[in-house]
Chain A
């Protein structure tokens, strides 16, 4: 499944979507960035409530397929610009991390 298909099925809003056709494989959730870098696998969907610019760096380096921001948290403007430039797909959803993971588990 592509990140765009997943986001549409989740009803998540695209904050930036530079690589919409990227394939999704598995999911990881967490907000402690080193923990995410240590555990998330490449191509995972990463569900988090962290919205600062370091989130984008971690998404790039851990090579996740997309970031889904939970609880309707807003990515700050600098982070959104950087995500676009770095090719990081970011979506936002009003759902909690738990609800998102449960929904993703049903979809992939």
Chain B
């Protein structure tokens, strides 16, 4: 396996206002490593959407970002309620977010579609009652 730099963050599920901290840190690290603004934007938006989802739905989780020379792999793991119908969750505009989240500007049903849009590969593994793991790859 090629050399990789691993970044790891615990996403606090209780604190909605700090959601996004990990994504901003990843953005900063990637900038220091000299990645292009386009790659950085893709990774940070996809990760932020995932982070927000973990806070809204799963009481937080763990984000791991593996940075290779030719790709960046983001793994988001949570022990939340799981996604019962993944194709439905992937539909643009479908959302189960509560009203208080909507009032903050989220819950438009664009999170998972944005994550797919901004990454070159995305896999969702989810078990209802156990949790969800999302693996996203952005090619450099």
A residues contacting B by CB (< 8 A) are 31-35, 37-38, 42, 50, 52-55, 57-58, 60-63, 78, 86
Contacts and interface: CB of A to CB of B under 8 A. Distances in A.
Contact of B37 (A32, A58, A63): A63
A6 to B, nearest CB: 20
Given A60-B44, A78-B17, 19 more contacts: A32-B106, A34-B49, A34-B106, A35-B108, A35-B110, A37-B45, A38-B45, A42-B37, A54-B19, A54-B20, A54-B105, A55-B105, A57-B19, A57-B20, A58-B20, A60-B24, A61-B44, A61-B48, A62-B45
A34 B114 contact: yes
A63 B109 CA distance: 22
Secondary structure call for the B interface:
helix
Interface residues of B, number: 24
Interface in B11-49: 17, 19-20, 23-24, 27, 37-38, 40-41, 44-45, 48-49
A59 to B, nearest CB: 11
B24 A53 contact: no
A50 to B, nearest CB: 5
Interface string B48-71: 110000000000000000000000
